[in-house]
Amino acid sequence: MGEFDLIARHFTRPVRRAVLGVGDDCALLAPTPGHQLAVSTDTLNEGRHFLSTVAPEALGHKCLAVNLSDLAACGATPRAFTLALSMPRVDDVFLDGFARGLLALAERHDCELVGGDTTAGPLAITVTVIGEVPVGQALLRSGARPGDDLWVSGTLGDARLALEVFRAQVPAAELGAADAFDRVRRAMEWPEPRVALGQALRGVASAAIDVSDGLLGDLGHVLARSGVGACVEADRLPCSAVLAAQPDERRRELGLAGGDDYELLFTAPPARAEAVRSAALSAAVPVTRIGRIEGLPGRRVVDREGRALDRPWPGFDHFAPESDR
């Protein structure tokens, strides 16, 4: 099967809201009046962002999910995406599963595949998403103010715990219940982007980011852009029952610095706490208050007694020396 048959078979669907989709030199979209476009790109490389053993369907899901998570962090509504796929050979079984996982998530978020590029090379997937947000209402990293509460959605740390088991850094037996590994593996392979929550937080949150590289690392981006500091209460971080059963030190480290969580980390003035809770309710996603924004730059992490925990907990940096990871 050649490149064009492959595209026609796996990645061409009837256009819906797009004016023109796959098959021409460009896709055409008509922006909704009064809206700004929100655009974001993420690449997934084999061995770096996913294990070679991952099911194709999960990979298809995840490569769109991590991009939708960026739209969620801006409070944007997904519209369309493009897919640049590099793969060593045409493998129909792989492509079938991959397209199924990808397009099922796209369907759920009404986000159309409108174009892309297909090349031979090492397995790598780049998705570019396009969303829309009413003019001036996008959630940004720069809006946090001293006194704001610090909130996070869902739970943190499971995806990294699964990775540590895959890497044989944590024995599966230490996870407890028989199905515990399956549960954390699901968090790693099938993240659910918090799109509805991001939209519900427009006009409520003062700043937002999605947690992809670890809570503290991503919090650092908000603090830097906002010119503020923060205090994080490590033992308030929401975690699954599997993580809750882990020793304190491991639980804190995975929650604070694990990464691959795709939850929303956001700030809001204390007076908006009820509005935050109703946004969470409307999006059917739990949210937890985990700390406070402070005027003094820098970030403090404290335990349940308020004692400082001052390990360095690096965020994930692809170009950091190996020894830092």
Q: Could you tell me which of 297, 177, 275, 172 has the C-alpha nearest to residue 228? A: 297
- Applying CB under 6 A, the span of 18-26, 122-130, 177-185, 305-313 interacting with ligand ADP comes to 18-26
Find the binding residues for ligand ADP in span 41-100 (CB under 6 A).
Answer: 83, 85
Residue 82 main-chain phi, psi, to 5 deg:
-115, 155
Q: Which is nearer to ligand ADP, 21 or 198 (CB)?
A: 21
Q: In this structure, what DSSP letter does residue 85 have?
A: E
Q: Is position 265 an interface residue for ligand ADP (rule: CB under 6 A)? A: no
The answer to whether 88 touches 123, Cβ cutoff 8 Å, is yes
Under 8 Å between Cβ of 309 and 252: yes
118 is a contact residue toward ligand ADP (CB under 6 A) = yes
State the minimum distance, in angstroms, from the CB of residue 5 to ligand ADP: 11
Whole-number Å distance between alpha carbons of 278 and 229: 27
List 60, 116, 157, 191, residue binding ligand ADP (CB under 6 A): 116
Number of residues located near Mg ion, criterion CB under 5 A: 1
Is position 101 an interface residue for ligand ADP (rule: CB under 6 A)? no
Segment interacting with ligand ADP (CB under 6 A) among 90-98, 112-120, 277-285, 290-298: 112-120
DSSP-derived letter for residue 246 is S
- Cβ-count burial 88-109 (b if 16+ within 10 Å, e if not): eeeeeebbebbbebbbebbeeb
CA distance 127 to 240: 29
Q: Does 24 bind ligand ADP (CB under 6 A)?
A: yes
> Considering only 17-25, 148-156, 268-276, 304-312, which stretch makes contact with ligand ADP by CB under 6 A?
17-25
**Shortest reach from residue 113's CB to ligand ADP, in Å:** 5
Judged by beta carbon, residue 24 or residue 274, the one nearer ligand ADP is: 24
CB of 115 to ligand ADP, least distance (A): 3
Helix or strand run (H / E) with residue 124: strand 124-134
Task: By CB under 6 A, name the one of 56, 60, 101, 115 that touches ligand ADP.
Answer: 115
Considering only residues 100 through 119, tell me which ones interact with Mg ion, judged by CB under 5 A: 117
Take residue 186 and report the two structure tokens written for it: 């699901």
| C-beta separation of 158 from 188 below 8 A | yes
Binding of ligand ADP at residue 7 (CB under 6 A)? yes
Identity of the residue, 25 or 322, whose beta carbon is nearer to ligand ADP in the bound complex:
25
- Residue by residue, DSSP assigns 246-312 as S-HHHHHHHHHH-----EEEEEE-GGGHHHHHHHHHHHT--EEEEEEEESSSEEEEE-TTS-B----
Contacts (CB under 5 A) with Mg ion, residues 116-175? 117
In terms of CB distance, is 115 or 191 closer to ligand ADP?
115
Positions in the binding site for ligand ADP (CB under 6 A): 7, 11, 22-25, 83, 85, 113, 115-118
